């Protein structure tokens, strides 16, 4: 097999639901926890939604642009 992303070979998750636990503005990284209890770093450099991620919010994250990045906020009040 040649190099590729997890999505290429169907291994690993390419989208996750996470809750933001901490945001480090100096490193431009949010520490999040997914629905399986695993921690992961999500970049805050890539902005696709126009919303600013905040601690305690639930988001969908994906690897469309390489690193985990915020794709959609899940708990937006109507």
**The model's pTM:** 0.79
Q: Is 28 left (phi over 0), alpha (psi -120 to 50) or beta?
A: left
DSSP element (H, E) containing 9: helix 6-9
The burial of 18, by beta-carbon neighbours within 10 Å (0-12 exposed, 13-18 middle, 19 or more buried), is given as buried
Q: What's domain 14-73's architecture?
A: Beta Barrel (2.40)
pLDDT at 76 over 70: no
Q: What is the pLDDT of residues 48-69, one digit of tens each?
A: 988 999 999 999 999 999 999 9
Domain boundaries, the chain: 14-73
């Amino acid at each position: 097999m040649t190099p590729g992303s997890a999505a290429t070979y169907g291994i690993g998750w390419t989208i996750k639901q996470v809750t933001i636990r901490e945001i480090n503005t100096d490193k431009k990284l949010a520490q999040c926890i997914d629905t399986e209890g695993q921690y992961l770093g999500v970049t805050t450099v890539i902005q696709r939604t126009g919303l600013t991620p905040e601690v305690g919010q639930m988001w969908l994250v994906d690897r469309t642009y390489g690193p985990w990045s915020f794709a959609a906020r899940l708990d937006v009040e109507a």
